[in-house]
Amino acid sequence: MNELTERELAMLREMNEAASIIAEALGYPHDETYGWVIGDHTVVTLALEVRSRGVAPL
């Protein structure tokens, strides 16, 4: 059985936190049991959605 290292777990937690922040900013609904309802989005596709909505880098 392959187990994740502490570093890998920390990276996954950080990625999930980033996805949550982006989902909230985009106005996705939040379910108390399951979290953000983002369908099959990944953190990358959420970021691409931000870009497509006209948010540009400073």
Residue 1: pLDDT over 70: no
2-57 pLDDT per residue, tens: 899 999 999 999 999 999 999 999 999 999 999 999 999 999 999 999 989 887 66
* Host domain of residue 10: 6-52
b/e sequence 34-43, b meaning 16+ C-beta within 10 Å = eebebeebeb
How much is the pLDDT for 9? 96
* 34 or 58, greater pLDDT: 34
The answer to whether position 23 is within a domain reads yes
- Count Cα neighbours of 31 within 13 Å in the Cβ-side half-sphere: 7
The answer to whether position 57 is within a domain reads no
Q: What's the number of domains the chain is made of?
A: 1
Rounded to two decimals, the pTM is 0.80
